[in-house]
Amino acid sequence: MAQDTEAQLPRNPTRSVQIGTVAIGHDHPIVVQGMCATKTADVDATVAQVEQLARAGAGVVRIAVDTHRDCQALAEIRQRTEANLAVDLQENYRLAADVAPLVEKVRYNPGHLFHHERRRTWQDKVRFLVEVAGQHGCAIRVGVNCGSVDPAKREKYAEGDSTGPMLESALDHCELLDRLDFTRYCVSLKDSDPQQVIEVNRLFVLERPDVPLHLGVTEAGMPPEGIVKSRIAMEHLLRRGIGDTLRVSLTVPVAEKHVEIEAGQRIIDDVAAGRFHDDDRESIAKGLNIISCPSCSRVENETFIDLARQVREATRYAAEHALTIAVMGCRVNGPGETDDADLGLWCGPKFVNLKCRGRTLGAFSYEEILPRMKEELDRLIAGGE
């Protein structure tokens, strides 16, 4: 890590948040994070992935935990690594009680606190999370994501306004955490569009310059485009002092996940050294946009990465058309995360679901999906709705 050069980066006056052996905040170097794409229950593979990412320079490594079986696996993983671990919770927020003793940070998504135990308020659920995090010395990340925003917030804003609900959600959660006297937290506001990431993070900082920010472009996709998109957002924000930790999310095979860490560190080093890539913005703004998730433990068919690559190859002929195709690895986040795309694909164990501008077209086998998707793409290019 080029810490000497990094010392020249401007930094917002964010407070310090300790995450195991690293700290984030304006007094500390910017921390690059990574996430395992292995099945959490596959302890050997996950330990190897954690070590791969830590060796590449990840200060914190995130693992998805959805079930009690994952919790048991996490206990074994904990025994076998000294890396700082964060856990990614989805709807089942109660798992936090089992995982908090094992990790240094818990990430929850405000948009996921609604589906489970619907009679309990989100404020109550956050109180529970704060209690267990506090008991075990864990940090918390409030991870707001454009594709799974709090439904009550979404209703308050015009259709197509993703910034308003994300910002309000993040600010409300900060206010509650403050009221609960819990300060060991950071926030992320991620969108698949780098310009939206810039906008929502800049607006957040105007309100809460004290809260450490975790930067990221969600579903940035495959390299090189995924790195370019992340760079556009992170470069803009970092050079203005915004961002204390970051992750470059890329659709790459498990064995290549270290590329995310290297890309993140390179962006930090470049910004610190004054090397900017302003031309990138132009190249990404035009033409066909393929977004795809970075994959994680929740991927339901391992051919997902190949599918994302095949979609890119099969649609090269449409490069000039300003359309978005979203390719997601699972049924948990796939339906929501493809809502705003012209064409959305999300993977199940045996079938790939296809959606066109919010309308579900059905589930197709892995052999059928590409020709079916191309039919829809051609229809959209020809001016169909």
Distance, CA of 264 to CA of 318 (rounded, Å): 30
Write the DSSP string, 235-252.
HHHHTTT--SEE------
CB 93 within 8 A of CB 128: yes
Residues in contact with ligand SF4, total (CB under 6 A)?
13
In DSSP terms, 85 is beta-bridged to 61
Q: Quickly count: other Cβ atoms within 10 Å of residue 258's Cβ.
A: 18
DSSP 29-43: PPEEEEE--S-TT-H
The one among 103, 296, 323, 369 contacting ligand SF4 by CB under 6 A: 296
Residue 65 as a binder of ligand SF4 (CB under 6 A): the answer is: no
By beta-carbon proximity to ligand SF4, the closer residue of 323 and 332 is 332
85 binding ligand SF4? (CB under 6 A): no
Task: Pick the stretch among 71-79, 96-104, 132-140, 324-332 that binds ligand SF4 (CB under 6 A).
Answer: 324-332
Q: List the one residue from 50, 189, 299, 354 that touches ligand SF4 (CB under 6 A).
A: 299
Position among 212, 334, 336, 344 found at the interface with ligand SF4 (CB under 6 A): 334
Q: What element of type H or E holds 291?
A: strand 289-292
* Position 308 contacts ligand SF4 (CB under 6 A): no
CB of 269 to ligand SF4, least distance (A): 26
Query: Quick one: 194 or 329, whose CB is closer to ligand SF4?
Result: 329
Distance, CA of 300 to CA of 380 (rounded, Å): 29
Q: Residues 243-282 vs ligand SF4: string with x where CB under 6 A?
A: ----------------------------------------
148 binds ligand SF4 (CB under 6 A): no
Cβ 232 to ligand SF4 shortest distance, Å: 21
Q: Which of 162, 161, 220 is nearest to 194 (CA)?
A: 220
**Interface ranges with ligand SF4 (CB under 6 A):** 293-296, 298-299, 328-330, 332-334, 337
